[in-house]
Chains A and B, each alone.
Chain A
Amino acid sequence: MREASVGAAALLLLPLAIGDYWSYQLSLYFLYAIAALGIGLCWGRGGFLPLGQATFFGLSAYLSGLALIAFEGSAWLVLLLPLAALASGLLAYGIGVLVFRARGESGPYFSMITLALSLLAYQVANSWDSVTGGFNGLKGIPGLPGLDGFTAAYYVAAVALLSSLAFTSWLLAAPLGVLWGALAQNERRAVLFGFNTNQLKAVAFGVSGLLAGLGGALYAPQQGLVTPQLCGFLLSADLVVWTAVGGRTRVLGPVIGALAIGALSSELRARVQFWEVLIALLFIAVVLRLPQGIVGLLAPLERRLGRRRHRGQGLEAPPHLEPRQAPRLVVDATSAHVGEVHILDRLSLELDRPGIYCIIGPNGAGKTSTFNLLTGELAASLGRVLLDGVDLTGLAPHRIARLGVGRKLQIPTVFPELTIADNLSIALWSGRATRMDLLRPRLKRWSNPILAELRQRYGFLDDTERKAAELSHGESQILELTMALVAEPRLLLLDEPCAGLSPEETAGVIDVIRWASRRLGATIVVIEHDMSLVKELADTVYVLHNGTRLARGSVAEIQADPTVRAVYVGGEK
Chain B
Amino acid sequence: MSALRFAFEGVIGGYGSAEVVRGVDGAIAAGEVLCVIGRNGVGKTTLIKLLSGFLPCWHGRVLLDGRSIEGVAAAARRSLGITYCPQERPVFDDLSVRDNLTLMRAARDLGDFAPYFERFPILARRLRQPGGTLSGGEKKILSFVRGLAEAQPLALLDEPSEGVQWENVLHMEALIAERKARGAAFVLVEQNLAFAERVADRYLVMDQGRVVLKGARAEIDRAQLLTHLHV
Give CA–CA (A207, B191) in the complex, Å: 49
Give CA–CA (A503, B193) in the complex, Å: 9
Q: Is A504 an interface residue (CB 8 A)?
A: yes
Give CA–CA (A155, B141) in the complex, Å: 67
User: Once the chains bind, are A364 and B138 in contact (CB under 8 Å)?
Assistant: yes
* Closest-CB distance, A405 to chain B (whole angstroms): 20
Give CA–CA (A529, B231) in the complex, Å: 24
Binds A, one of B55-63, B75-83, B163-171: B163-171
B231 surroundings in chain A (CB, below 8 A): 504
Known: A363-B135, A364-B137. A496 touches B169 (CB 8 A): no
Give CA–CA (A411, B170) in the complex, Å: 23
Give CA–CA (A339, B127) in the complex, Å: 12
Q: Is A568 an interface residue (CB 8 A)?
A: yes
Known: A472-B41, A529-B163, A529-B166. A364 touches B195 (CB 8 A): no
Listed by A's residue number, 9 A-B pairs whose Cβ atoms lie within 8 Å are A362-B165, A364-B126, A410-B136, A410-B163, A496-B136, A500-B87, A503-B226, A504-B230, A570-B166
* Closest-CB distance, B40 to chain A (whole angstroms): 4
* Closest-CB distance, B228 to chain A (whole angstroms): 10
* Closest-CB distance, A491 to chain B (whole angstroms): 21
A570 surroundings in chain B (CB, below 8 A): 166
Give CA–CA (A568, B87) in the complex, Å: 24
* Closest-CB distance, B41 to chain A (whole angstroms): 4
Q: Is B68 an interface residue (CB 8 A)?
A: no
Q: Choose among B39, B162, B168, B192 the residue that contacts A573 (Cβ–Cβ < 8 A).
A: B192
Which of B136, B226, B230 gathers the greatest number of chain A CB atoms within 10 Å? B136
* Closest-CB distance, B74 to chain A (whole angstroms): 22
Q: Choose among A411, A472, A571 the residue that contacts B169 (Cβ–Cβ < 8 A).
A: A571
B211-231 interface bits toward A, Cβ cutoff 8 Å, 1 = contact, 0 = none: 000000000000000100111
A199 surroundings in chain B (CB, below 8 A): none
User: Once the chains bind, are B138 and A529 in contact (CB under 8 Å)?
Assistant: no
Q: How large is the interface on B (under 10, 10 to 19, 20 to 34, 35 or more residues)?
A: 35 or more
Query: Which residues of chain B (5-62) have a CB below 8 Å from chain A?
Result: 38-41
* Closest-CB distance, A335 to chain B (whole angstroms): 16
User: Once the chains bind, are A368 and B165 in contact (CB under 8 Å)?
Assistant: no
A338 surroundings in chain B (CB, below 8 A): 129, 133
* Closest-CB distance, A485 to chain B (whole angstroms): 20
Give CA–CA (A361, B166) in the complex, Å: 10
Chain B interface helix/strand/loop/mixed: loop
Q: Is B103 an interface residue (CB 8 A)?
A: no
Q: Is A147 an interface residue (CB 8 A)?
A: no
Q: Is B72 an interface residue (CB 8 A)?
A: no
Beta-carbon nearest neighbor of B87 in chain A: A500
B110 surroundings in chain A (CB, below 8 A): none
Q: Choose among A341, A504, A505 the residue that contacts B126 (Cβ–Cβ < 8 A).
A: A341
Query: Which residues of chain B (150-169) have a CB below 8 Å from chain A?
Result: 159, 162-169
A499 surroundings in chain B (CB, below 8 A): 136, 162-163
Give CA–CA (A222, B122) in the complex, Å: 69
Which of B39, B135, B141 gathers the greatest number of chain A CB atoms within 10 Å? B135
Known: A341-B126, A364-B122, A504-B230. A474 touches B166 (CB 8 A): no
Q: Choose among B40, B141, B194 the residue that contacts A474 (Cβ–Cβ < 8 A).
A: B40
Give CA–CA (A567, B165) in the complex, Å: 11
B165 surroundings in chain A (CB, below 8 A): 360-363, 529, 568, 571
Give CA–CA (A150, B129) in the complex, Å: 65
User: Once the chains bind, are B40 and A368 in contact (CB under 8 Å)?
Assistant: no
* Closest-CB distance, B70 to chain A (whole angstroms): 25
Q: Is B178 an interface residue (CB 8 A)?
A: no
Q: Choose among B40, B126, B194, B226 the residue that contacts A571 (Cβ–Cβ < 8 A).
A: B194
A410 surroundings in chain B (CB, below 8 A): 136, 163
B118 surroundings in chain A (CB, below 8 A): none
User: Once the chains bind, are A501 and B135 in contact (CB under 8 Å)?
Assistant: no
User: Once the chains bind, are B166 and A505 in contact (CB under 8 Å)?
Assistant: no
B159 surroundings in chain A (CB, below 8 A): 500
B138 surroundings in chain A (CB, below 8 A): 363-364
Give CA–CA (A529, B159) in the complex, Å: 15
Additional pairs, 16, CB under 8 Å, beyond known A339-B129, A341-B129, A500-B87:
A340-B128, A341-B125, A341-B126, A362-B165, A363-B138, A363-B141, A363-B163, A364-B134, A411-B88, A473-B40, A473-B41, A499-B136, A503-B229, A529-B163, A571-B192, A573-B193
B68-104 interface bits toward A, Cβ cutoff 8 Å, 1 = contact, 0 = none: 0000000000000000000110000000000000000
* Closest-CB distance, A480 to chain B (whole angstroms): 15
Give CA–CA (A304, B229) in the complex, Å: 42
Q: Choose among A361, A473, A496, A567 the residue that contacts B163 (Cβ–Cβ < 8 A).
A: A496
Closest CB pairs A-B (n = 4): A571-B166, A363-B137, A502-B39, A472-B41
Q: Is A569 an interface residue (CB 8 A)?
A: yes
User: Once the chains bind, are A368 and B136 in contact (CB under 8 Å)?
Assistant: yes
B128 surroundings in chain A (CB, below 8 A): 339-340
* Closest-CB distance, A144 to chain B (whole angstroms): 54
* Closest-CB distance, B38 to chain A (whole angstroms): 8
B194 surroundings in chain A (CB, below 8 A): 571-573
Give CA–CA (A551, B88) in the complex, Å: 32
Q: Is A367 an interface residue (CB 8 A)?
A: yes
Known: A338-B129, A363-B137, A496-B136. A501 touches B166 (CB 8 A): no
A573 surroundings in chain B (CB, below 8 A): 191-194
Give CA–CA (A167, B169) in the complex, Å: 57
Q: Choose among A504, A568, A571 the residue that contacts B39 (Cβ–Cβ < 8 A).
A: A504
Give CA–CA (A410, B88) in the complex, Å: 12
Beta-carbon nearest neighbor of B45 in chain A: A473
Q: Is A369 an interface residue (CB 8 A)?
A: yes
Which of A341, A505, A529 gathers the greatest number of chain B CB atoms within 10 Å? A529
* Closest-CB distance, A397 to chain B (whole angstroms): 17
Query: Which residues of chain A (484-531) have a CB below 8 Å from chain B?
Result: 496, 499-505, 529, 531
B192 surroundings in chain A (CB, below 8 A): 571, 573
Give CA–CA (A360, B39) in the complex, Å: 25
B126 surroundings in chain A (CB, below 8 A): 341, 364
* Closest-CB distance, B151 to chain A (whole angstroms): 23
A368 surroundings in chain B (CB, below 8 A): 135-136
A85-128 interface bits toward B, Cβ cutoff 8 Å, 1 = contact, 0 = none: 00000000000000000000000000000000000000000000
Query: Which residues of chain A (543-573) have a CB below 8 Å from chain B?
Result: 567-573
Query: Which residues of chain A (331-360) have a CB below 8 Å from chain B?
Result: 338-341, 360
* Closest-CB distance, A497 to chain B (whole angstroms): 12
Beta-carbon nearest neighbor of A570 in chain B: B166
B171-197 interface bits toward A, Cβ cutoff 8 Å, 1 = contact, 0 = none: 000000000000000000001111100
B87 surroundings in chain A (CB, below 8 A): 500
Give CA–CA (A503, B194) in the complex, Å: 12
Beta-carbon nearest neighbor of B89 in chain A: A411
Give CA–CA (A364, B167) in the complex, Å: 13
B163 surroundings in chain A (CB, below 8 A): 363, 410, 496, 499, 529
Beta-carbon nearest neighbor of B195 in chain A: A571
Beta-carbon nearest neighbor of A507 in chain B: B230
Give CA–CA (A471, B87) in the complex, Å: 18
* Closest-CB distance, A375 to chain B (whole angstroms): 15
Beta-carbon nearest neighbor of B193 in chain A: A573
Give CA–CA (A503, B39) in the complex, Å: 8
